[in-house]
Amino acid sequence: MRRAAILGLGGRGQFWLKTALRSGWQVSGFDPDPAAMPANRHSEWQRENTISGTVKDADWIMCCLPERLELMQKVIQRAQAEAPEACIIAVDTRFDVEDVQSCAMRRGQLVQVTHDAENGFALSVTALNEPAIKEEATATLAEFAAIIGIEPTHRPAEQADASEQSA
Q: What residue ranges do the domains of the chain occupy?
A: 3-166
Q: 4 CB contacts (<8 Å, ≥6 apart)? A: 16, 17, 20, 25, 26, 27, 28, 58, 59, 60, 61, 62
pTM: 0.85
3-state secondary structure of 146: helix
Smallest CA-to-CA distance from 20 within 115, 121, 143 is with 143
* Fold of domain 3-166: Rossmann fold (3.40.50)
Q: What is the pLDDT along the chain (167 residues), one digit of tens a residue?
A: 999 999 999 999 999 999 999 999 999 999 999 888 766 555 689 999 999 999 999 999 999 999 999 999 999 999 999 999 999 999 999 999 899 999 899 999 999 998 776 667 788 888 899 999 999 999 998 898 888 777 655 555 544 443 333 33
* CA-CA-CA-CA torsion sign (120, 158, 5, 26): positive
